[in-house]
Amino acid sequence: MSRPLVIAGHASGVGKTTVATGLMGALRRRGHNVAPFKVGPDYIDPGYHLRATGVPSRNLDTWLTSAKQVHAIYERGARNADIGVVEGVMGLFDGRAGGRDDGSTAEVAMITGGAVVLVVNCARLSRSLAPLLMGFDRFDERLELAGAILNNVGSRGHARMLKDAAREVGVPVLGEISRDERLSLGSRHLGLVPATEQPGADETLEIMIDAVGRSVDIDALLDIAGAPAALMDSTLASVHQQAAAAGNVSIAVARDEAFSFYYVDGLEALEAAGAKLVSFSPLKDDELPDCDGVYLGGGFPEVFAAGLEANAAMRRSMAAAAQDGRPIYAECGGMVYLCRGVEVDGRRFEMSGVIDSEAQMTGRRQALGYVEARARRSSIIMETGERVRGHEFHWSTVRWQDDHLAYDCFSNKRPEVEPDGYARGQILASYVHIHFAGEHGAAARFVRACSRARDGVSR
């Protein structure tokens, strides 16, 4: 197995997604089977990876899973590939907490044995590139900085100055990408606009692939990936996904333009626990498919609120499923859909009414980052007092019902404990995104709850 190319940045917003996705597509054009990965909890960038490679992108996140699981997820994703390409998160050494590399691109590069390729936004740089590269090259000797790709290069003269600066500190330049507004991807409050919504996404993707294929030394990158590298301790490689059991429990998973925030390995963990997953669309389908439980992931219900409100038949079907006692697990956007309604820009839209609460878009970010959630009461995936790691990112608020609060949430970004979510009977909904491939057993518990509800056994 070749080692992965880890496309990192010196900061956020330097062009990692453009370079990583363009590289994936350029390698595919050459006939390579590419395994795409994304560091961190991001749901949107993997959608572009899928379009570029034709292969689902897997998230590598040590907070939501573990170092062992990250290693196993990488091995599983790269098993049938010629080369793995990992898109980093934020700056190379930026992680969950200052002073440590927990959750950083650097940590994942060390776990997977990857060679780091640093993307540098050179729009306002010339010789100062030299100390920047020197710092990233020498900061942590456990990492190999294989080279740099210079982005937003203004001219041939600018490129010469930058290459001279890189030569001073001995860091190879593996490509220079000229400034081009066509390479920018649309964004909104949660980051990039998903590929499924991006007007002209396929055209933009082809421009990105052309630019990387033309401006980056693909042969040099292939040589770097083909060189041997020591992976982390082999004992960590012993974590393998459980073989999928016969799918005798059916879980309906909301998957359309409004709900798309799922981790590939999380869905596979549900299947391994014995679930048969059936996709449905809250926007377009009249009713839920025949199922024993429902999984409503995150997404953008506020963007598609009018369409969700217009589909009254599906809203009634969701309410009926809850009334029948079928387990329903919902995260963030899915939780908003379970509320009575959501207010967007001063207008209220009817939702499914499973939860007797109202959601409101605020126009500003309410939460961003990793959290640890402690269960206030037992639910379909947790027992009272148990903890699970998760991630939050939302611009809405919900007035929770104190009698049915699901979690107390702890974050290193805020000193106070934050109550969150709704847990009552067979319903669990909150702003917290978890990873079902984590080592907390939530996948097996959710499948078991669905099985017991189907068989008429009370919890």
- pLDDT tens digit string along 157-171? 999 999 999 999 999
Please tell me the predicted confidence (pLDDT) of residue 201. 75
Residue 323 has pLDDT above 80, yes or no: yes
User: Do 5-238 and 249-454 agree at the fold level?
Assistant: yes
Report the pLDDT averaged over residues 32-44: 96
Backbone dihedral angles phi then psi of residue 195, each to the nearest 5 degrees: -60, -35
User: What does the alpha-carbon distance between residue 346 and residue 381 come to, in Å, rounded to a whole number?
Assistant: 35
User: What does the alpha-carbon distance between residue 104 and residue 240 come to, in Å, rounded to a whole number?
Assistant: 23
Please tell me the predicted confidence (pLDDT) of residue 248. 86
Report the pLDDT averaged over residues 191-220: 84
Please tell me the predicted confidence (pLDDT) of residue 182. 77
Give the confidence band of 237 by pLDDT, cuts at 50, 70, 90: very low
Residues marked active site are found at 332
Give the confidence band of 438 by pLDDT, cuts at 50, 70, 90: very high
Q: Which CATH class is domain 5-238?
A: alpha beta
Residue 450 has pLDDT above 70, yes or no: yes
Report the pLDDT averaged over residues 295-323: 97
pLDDT digits (tens, 9 = 90+) for 136-147: 999 999 999 999
Report the pLDDT averaged over residues 106-122: 97
User: What percentage of the chain exceeds 90 in pLDDT?
Assistant: 82
DSSP characters over 197-237: T-TTHHHHHHHHHHHHHHHB-HHHHHHHHHS--PPS-GGGG
pLDDT digits (tens, 9 = 90+) for 378-423: 999 999 999 999 999 999 999 888 899 999 999 977 778 999 999 9
- Ranking 179-183, 309-313, 347-351 by mean pLDDT, the lowest is 179-183
- Ranking 32-41, 228-237, 376-385, 407-416 by mean pLDDT, the lowest is 228-237
Residue 228 has pLDDT above 70, yes or no: no
Q: Report the CATH fold assignment for 249-454.
A: Rossmann fold (3.40.50)
User: What does the alpha-carbon distance between residue 405 and residue 422 come to, in Å, rounded to a whole number?
Assistant: 5
Residue 242 has pLDDT above 70, yes or no: no
- The number of CA neighbours under 13 Å toward the Cβ of 204 is 22
pLDDT top residue among 350 and 204: 350
For residue 183, give the nearest of 127, 133, 119 by alpha carbon. Answer: 119
Give the confidence band of 304 by pLDDT, cuts at 50, 70, 90: very high
Instruction: Indicate the domain borders of the chain.
Output: 5-238, 249-454
Please tell me the predicted confidence (pLDDT) of residue 356. 95
pLDDT top residue among 245 and 125: 125
**Which amino acid is present at 112?**
T
Please tell me the predicted confidence (pLDDT) of residue 412. 79
Task: Tell me the pairing of strands 298-299 and 427-430.
Answer: unpaired
User: What global pTM score does this model have?
Assistant: 0.91
Q: Are 267 and 275 in contact (CB under 8 A)?
A: no
Give the confidence band of 59 by pLDDT, cuts at 50, 70, 90: very high
- Ranking 193-207, 234-248, 258-272, 334-348 by mean pLDDT, the lowest is 234-248
Task: Tell me the pairing of strands 387-394 and 347-350.
Answer: unpaired
Q: Edge-to-edge strand order for the sheet containing 339-344?
A: 347-350, 339-344, 355-361, 396-398
pLDDT digits (tens, 9 = 90+) for 80-93: 999 999 999 999 99
Residue with tokens 């009254």, as numbered in its chain:
312
